[in-house]
Amino acid sequence: MAWGWCGLGECFRPCARTNGRRNMNDQRRNGQNETAAGGRPTLKTIAFMTGLGVTTVSRALKDAPDIGEETKKRVQLVARQVGYRPNRAGVRLRTGKTNVISLVLNTDEQLMGFISDIIYGVSEELAESSYHLILTPYSSRNDPMDPIRYVVETHSADGVIISQTEPNDPRVRYLTEHRFPFATHGRTHTGIEHPWHDFDNHAFAVQAVRALVAKGRRRLALLAPSPKLTYYRHMSDGFAEGIEEQGCNAIPFHDAWVDMPIERIKTAAMALLRRDAPPDGLVSGSGAGAFALVAAIEECGLQLGRDIDIVTKQSTPLVQMFRPQILVVNEDFRLAGRELARAVRASIDGAASASLQTLAVPSGVEGSRT
């Protein structure tokens, strides 16, 4: 209890006003010290600033159903303002969770906006949650199972996102067998029900063939993904369907894939264009591949839009900025990132895999009018 001069005679006795002021100052110092002690705000900091109990603050930040919406909004606003972040080590000790999502990426993948956009999309979805994103890179020169085993065995994340799926992907089987939450960018043919987001490459190829035929092209070739990937089958099947539907000719092009370095694609494309019956229309499964095809066309003395046309997927406006004559179908990797983050979070919470599967359908070919 604080003692102070009460002004009612020459004696000391407890003074409620002084005592209250002293308690408030102590609380304020305690709140400040709570922030300074660990170098960051804590639950006690937020409790002091909102006038709520620490337990209430904790439950509000966890979106507990028994906490009112106004209270949750007030607590979350203060948490953002003071820069509160939960102590991940403490959370892991209490709950066994890391509050981390691992995005496993092949460092050999062609950039063209894919990596930055998918990271942006995942981060955007996780921004208002308790989860943090970490990148787990690997090279195709190494075993793609290595980063998956590492995350599962060390439990360094609560869930993972993987890309470049194969029809019988061993990563999907391993994660399923270990009951580890995950989502894939692309489908598989494993027979295992799992969360995924994919782009409809079958529809893309059909639309591309139709657009080229509308431009008067009749001899078409496809620069496809690597045959080991699932979407190779989707895209090549769509291309074959479009060729049959339109009654035109497919020119075999099996010397290059969109996953190859641009110089190798260019060299293979030049050999294709120098055949006795070269294609007059090309479908490219990636924007980077389209750059290589254009370089080959121009080095062979042909003119894009006059002698030959290209339809390609693009994830950024760079392709049409490079050559406005290129016909494009847009693929939104930021959307893919958001959908994958939603799927893996829901998988962590125990949602059924069949409800966590989304397919982005292309909206058509841009610039296809004659």
- Answer yes or no: same fold for 105-199+334-357 and 201-332: yes
Interval 215-245: pLDDT, tens: 999 999 999 999 999 999 999 999 999 999 9
Could you tell me if 194 and 353 are in contact, meaning their C-beta atoms sit under 8 angstroms apart? yes
> In terms of CATH architecture, what is 105-199+334-357?
3-Layer(aba) Sandwich (3.40)
- The C-alpha atoms of residue 195 and residue 342 are separated, in whole angstroms, by 10
End-to-end CA distance of the chain: 88
Query: 3-class SS at 82?
Result: helix
Segment 71-101, tens digit of pLDDT? 988 988 888 888 777 665 555 545 557 899 9
Separation of alpha carbons 250 and 243, rounded Å: 7
Confidence (pLDDT) at 334: 95
> What's the CA gap between 207 and 313, in Å, rounded?
11
- What CATH number labels 16-85? 1.10.260
Give the integer Cα–Cα distance in Å for 108 and 106: 5
pLDDT, averaged per 10 consecutive residues of the chain (370 residues), comes to 33 38 43 50 87 87 84 88 69 68 80 77 91 87 90 94 96 97 97 98 98 97 96 98 97 94 96 96 95 97 96 88 93 96 96 97 78
Provide the pLDDT for residue 109.
59
Question: How far apart are the C-alpha atoms of 210 and 183, rounded to whole Å?
Answer: 33
Supply the pLDDT for residue 8. 30
- Measure CA 326 to chain center: 27
313 strand-pairing partners: 329
Q: Which CATH architecture has domain 201-332?
A: 3-Layer(aba) Sandwich (3.40)
Pseudo-torsion of CA 282, 284, 290, 292, nearest 10°? -80
Parse the chain into domains and list their residue ranges. Answer: 16-85, 105-199+334-357, 201-332
Single-letter code of the amino acid located at 9 = G
